[in-house]
Each structure stands twice: as C-alpha cells, then as structure tokens.
Amino acid sequence: MNPLQKIKQTGQSQVEYALLLVLVAGIGVVGLTLLGPQIGDAFSRITNQTPAENEPTTQGEVHEAILVTVMDYNYVGLANVPISVHDAAGQALNITSTTNSKGVASFAELPAGSYTFRGEYQEQIYWSGKLEWQNEWQTVILANKRPFTIQVVDSSSAGIAGVHVTVYTDEDEYLDLSGDTDEDGFVNFQLPEGAFKFRAEYHAAEYWSETTEIPGSNTAFITAQQQGITVFANNGHGAGISGVGVYAFTPNGDYAGVHGETDNTGRVTLYLPPGPYKFRGDHQAREYWSGVVTTANGKEASIEIPEATVRVYVVDDRERPLKNINVYAFTTDGEYIGVHDKTNNSGYVVLILPAGEFKIRADYRGDDYWSRRLETPSQTEITIKIGEDGEDDEDDNDYEDEHEDEDNESNRGNNHNNNRDD
C-alpha cells in the first residue's frame, strides 16, 4: 500500500499524525504547503484534527530558505541524502545540499520560481513535486525505505551463520549495503522500492538469490549448496594419523575458509561448494598437501605424511643408560613438534617422527641436553649424552667435521667440555 494512502485511511491513529507533526516541528516548520494532492490532503487532515496552537502555517510569514525533507515509508527523516535543485522542466541547476540528521536539507538565496528536488538514496532516485518559491517553502521526498530480510540456508534448509550478504539492483549495481547472517542465517536491511537481488559469500564461493520486487515481497532466500568430502591423513602405508589439522584450498591456493581435524582413524569430512580443491595437513610443525580433488559425496582425498620410527638413547658420561628421562622432538629451528616420551628402564625411547630434520632434547635434573641433527627416515637411532657439569651437549652443525680426526677419547672430552645451555 502506498504510504500516503495509509495516512488517508479512516481510523488512522492520532499518534501517527502527532509523530509526523513532531518531525515537522523539529525542523522549524511554521508554515507548510506540500505539493501533490495526496500529500497536501494528508497534512490538511492532520492540521484539521489538532489544536489551533499547533497549526503549522502562519499567514504572511516570509521564509529565507527552502526546506527539503527526505523521509522513509514510516515518515522517518533520512540523514546524509544528497539533494540537487532542478527547474520545473527537470534541468539541473548545479545547486546541491545534503540532509542533516533529521533528514532536512535547506536551500537559501534561490530566486523566485518553480523548482523540483532530486534525492539519491541507495542508488535510487526520488523526486519531490514542483515547488513555487516563494509562495511555498517546504517539500517532501518520500524514499519508501522498507525492512527486508534475507536467510541463507544449506541444502537441508538449515540456516547458516556468519555468511556475508551484499545487496545489488536487478541490473547488478552494488548498493553499498552488506551484512552478516545471525545464528539462524538471517540478515536484515532497509531498502527502497525497486528490484533487487542478493549475493552470499560462503566458503570461497558466491550464491545468488532470485530477483525480488519491493514492495511486492519482504523476504528472500539464498541456498548454499555444499558437498561433503573426506580427507584421509595417513603414513603412506595405509595407517591413519589422528589429530592432523586439515584445511581446504582452491587449486590456485586461496583458502576456502573450511577446516577440521582428523579423528582416530585419520579421517575428517569437510563440506564445500561443488568444485575442485586441494587440502593441506598440518602435522608436527610441517605442512603436507593432497592432490586436487573435485568434491563429490563419498569421494576421498589423501594426504600422505611419511613417518619414521626413531630410537633415542639417553646415557651419562660413562655410557650408562638413564631411565625416566623426558625426551622432546624439535625442528632444527627450535620449534617443538608435539612429540615426547620418557626413556624406559633400558635408557631409550621410541619416537614416531615425520620425514625431515630434527633435534632431540633430554631434560635431566633441571638442565637441557640436545642431540645433534637427526635426519629421518635415513637415521633411525641417536644418542644424547648427559655431561657431568649438567650443561647442554654441543649442537653445532659442523661438530663432526671439526673433530673427525680426533680419537674417541678426545671426542668424549670435547663433548663434556663444550656442553652449553639451549
């Protein structure tokens, strides 16, 4: 229903009339002539039903400026709307202003004559009626902005939270309006009359609504179709690896915004829009990739994470095994990879490590002792020797080259004397 017709309906509450008068009074109105028979009749009915002291017109009063008020369909003033002045034929006069917080723009020092005013709101153009200045001094532009709700749902019609939605005209012009869906998949906008469509951005994909006419409708739906794909993180010999963080990417390396963690079978199912993807597994401070796979229900992608079994011995300076010593694995850059255990009664521990280069640390009586570099899978054993002074073993990459001509006794002495803290 046209807002102006709504004003004219019999039984219209006095409260609505009073609210409109408050808006008029708030912009300093002491005389009011609105263009157009419906608008004029509406204000005539309002003033006829109010006490004389609230009459908006004072006979013979001279005004210094034209006031143009921009309202939505609830007669609420709209701020920051650009207004331009045109002559009676619609020709622009290169005179502009912008509405204030109450939705009012003023134009002073215009010569007497006939004018129309154009407002641009959310990529839509709205016009006032013709105003005869200086016999008339105020006019209204109705922008007819209305509430509109969009819901983004998945293929089972369940709402999806946190989806970014943008608003476009039916001719693909962006309206500089956007928002994120709530926990039930809803997002609300205030829109003028016209034809619109809506775009949802979800997991690196775009989904569009159908074109919607306002005021014919006040809701729209966007369905984000997705498919499940299972990613299997394994050691290359069929054994699954649990606790691997898995992330989905497009083939060109753009993150798709979807991730999960493998279960105790080494698998995780991710839900993605149809299309090709590759998957990255993060495990023990290293990254591993699958090949490119196209999503299809029941399809599986594989991430191989080569593993090696390494036996770490911890002994004192007399080569005696030490039990119950905490042992930790690090990258060569000193990043802990989340692997540790305690030595058994025989003074060793078995660690499962990915392929690569590592350092192993043993904690003994409050001090740290380090192995030399360990390269897996080519090396399967390494020894950490605890010095009597309680300092760290030498971790110099060139250690063996510097001492390759020394005998075993000299090497033991150097290891003892060159220990350092990590």
Residue 216: its pLDDT value, please? 87
Q: Are both 3-142 and 227-304 of the same fold?
A: yes
The strand order across the sheet containing 104-108 reads 104-108, 65-71, 138-142
- CA atoms in the 13 A half-sphere facing the CB of 205: 20
Give the integer Cα–Cα distance in Å for 278 and 194.
42
Q: Which residues contact 329 (CB under 8 A, 6 or more apart)?
A: 284, 336, 337, 339, 340, 351, 353, 358, 359, 360, 361
Give the integer Cα–Cα distance in Å for 415 and 122.
76
- 3-class state of residue 32 by DSSP: coil
Give the integer Cα–Cα distance in Å for 93 and 115.
10
- CB count within 10 Å of CB 377 equals 14
The answer to whether 397 touches 373, Cβ cutoff 8 Å, is yes
pTM: 0.48
Residue 297: its pLDDT value, please? 61
- Block residue for tokens 């594989």: 302
Residue 383: beta bridge partners?
Answer: 313
CATH of 227-304, one of 1.20.120.530, 3.40.50.720, 2.60.40.1120, 1.20.1280.290: 2.60.40.1120
Give the residue among 185, 203, 221 at the shortest CA–CA distance from 295. 203
Residue 61: its pLDDT value, please? 65
- Written out in words, the top-level CATH class of the domain with range 307-417 is mainly beta
- CA atoms in the 13 A half-sphere facing the CB of 55: 6
Residue 205: its pLDDT value, please? 81
Give the residue among 72, 56, 18, 208 at the shortest CA–CA distance from 136. 56
Domain definitions of the chain by residue range? 3-142, 146-223, 227-304, 307-417
DSSP string, 177-230: EEEE--TTSEEEEEE-SEEEEEEEEETTEEEEPPPEEETT-SEEEEE---EEEE
Give the integer Cα–Cα distance in Å for 162 and 179.
9
Residue 394: its pLDDT value, please? 43
CATH of 3-142, one of 1.10.340.30, 3.40.50.1820, 2.60.40.1120, 3.40.50.2000: 2.60.40.1120
In tens digits, the chain (422 residues) has pLDDT values of: 333 333 333 333 333 433 444 444 443 333 333 334 334 433 443 334 333 322 334 455 678 899 999 998 778 899 999 999 999 888 999 999 999 999 999 999 899 999 999 999 877 789 999 999 988 999 999 887 788 999 999 888 899 999 999 999 999 999 889 999 999 999 999 888 889 999 999 876 889 999 999 888 899 999 988 888 999 999 888 889 999 999 999 999 999 889 999 999 999 999 888 889 999 999 988 899 999 998 876 678 999 998 888 999 999 988 899 999 999 999 998 899 889 999 999 999 999 898 889 999 999 998 999 999 999 888 889 999 987 443 444 444 333 333 333 334 434 334 433 443 44
- Written out in words, the top-level CATH class of the domain with range 146-223 is mainly beta
The answer to whether 145 touches 81, Cβ cutoff 8 Å, is no
- Structure-block tokens of residue 296: 């299809």
Residue 103: its pLDDT value, please? 95
| Torsion angle defined by CA atoms of residues 96, 100, 105 and 108, in that order, rounded to the nearest 10 degrees | -90
Give the integer Cα–Cα distance in Å for 72 and 74.
5
AA identity, residue 51? P
